[in-house]
Amino acid sequence: TELVFSHWLAKIRSPEGFIDVIFSSGNGITTVDDWWFEHATAGTVLGVPVKIAPPEETLWSKAFVMERERFDGADVVHLILAHGERLDWKRLLARFGPHWRVLLAHLVMFGFIYPSQRSRVPAWVMSELLQRTEAEQTAPDAPDPVCYGTLLSWSQYLGDVLGGSYRDARIRPFGTLSAEEVARWTAADKS
């Protein structure tokens, strides 16, 4: 067993194969917790009984993947297309918490991509998120110079946080990671 990245990934190896144990995300936001299991559905994969991750938690974790070489936005809108009418939207809003703008961005794109399916997103969800956006327009700018782009892409905002004047949102107190975890993840070969 190897703890590859202390904030999200371990590997279990045996002569028969290996298993990746994913317990969070590279940005430290979408931690696997009890809700992943409480709301999972039973299924069978290759004859083995398994728990299948709930669509809400799957959408939440995929919403933050916006790398140059990998963008999970299509997965997000396809999850809404397939499950929108059955999603627990209150739980989904709770999952995004202070990062609700990421959810709003995907919902706006969903309405653009599938205009005939916009009703799969309840009107109250869009109203709630748009009201939050409107309230921000009259509020002062955030006091701390922080870049939240690093929650979406580990690489696209490095200039802002390494050579610029912005703090990295992955690092405490804004995020859940230590500076050492971020440095190790940033330096890792991701190919």
Q: Is 126 within the bounds of a domain?
A: yes
- Whether residue 104 is predicted with pLDDT greater than 80 in this model: the reply is yes
Peptide bond into 173 cis (omega under 30): yes
Is there a domain that residue 35 lies in? no
**Domain for residue 108, yes or no?**
yes
Q: Is residue 93 part of a domain?
A: yes
Number of domains in the chain: 1
Q: What is the pLDDT of residue 163?
A: 84
Q: Is residue 48 part of a domain?
A: no
User: What pTM was computed for the model?
Assistant: 0.93
| CA distances for 6 relative to 3, 28, 73, 148, angstroms | 6, 10, 26, 21
Quick one: pLDDT band at residue 190, thresholds 50, 70, 90?
Answer: confident
For 15-36, how does the pLDDT look when each residue is reduced to its tens digit (9 = 90+)? 989 999 999 999 999 999 999 9
Give residue-wise pLDDT tens across range 120-163: 999 999 999 999 999 999 999 999 999 999 999 999 999 999 98
The pLDDT assigned to 174 comes to 97
pLDDT of res. 164: 78
Domain assignment present for 9: no
Determine the structural domain holding residue 106 and report its residue range.
54-139
Flag whether 187 is in a domain. no
Is residue 74 in a domain?
yes
